Every structure is written in structure tokens, then in C-alpha cells.
Amino acid sequence: MKPYTPPQALQQNAGAPIIVGPWPSYSAFRNLPERERWVLYGSAKDYRASLEAQGLAMAESYDAFVRRVTEELEL
């Protein structure tokens, strides 16, 4: 049984679901100490990897994801 995914978050492409957003924002955490911001960055990468391991693909490229999250966390 597959976990529920809201239909607005998915788009079908050659049978593989693609998550098109909206993407979570990490900018609210930019005032945390640097160590905690690095922990959040690691968590964001782990979460993305977990979704990809379940067969989901992201419309946002990995490079764009890294750039966005590091900018939002000011790392």
C-alpha cells in the first residue's frame, strides 16, 4: 500500500510520480546558531533522499535544492 500523496503535489511522467512543489522554506530558521542550521540542512537532504528512495522524483534539481536550502539557511 502506497502512502497518500495529495494530487496537487504530483504530476505523472512516464509512470513515475514527480513532486512539483510547493517546497518547504527554511528561511525562518536562519537566526538559529550555525550548528543547528547545519543539522536542518542535513535533515532536508535526508528527507529528499528518503522520498527519492520511495520512487518519487523532484521537479527541482538537486543542485537547485542545495542552492535554495543553503541560501535560506545562510550557510
The domain locations on the chain are 18-72
Contact 59, 18 (CB under 8 A): yes
Angle of CA points 60, 65, 67, to nearest 5°: 130
What 3-state DSSP class applies to 71?
helix
Contact 65, 57 (CB under 8 A): no
pLDDT by residue (tens digit) across 18-44? 888 788 899 999 999 999 999 999 999
Query: How much is the pTM?
Result: 0.72
Q: Quick one: average pLDDT of 1-26?
A: 63
In the chain, the percentage of residues whose pLDDT exceeds 90 is 52
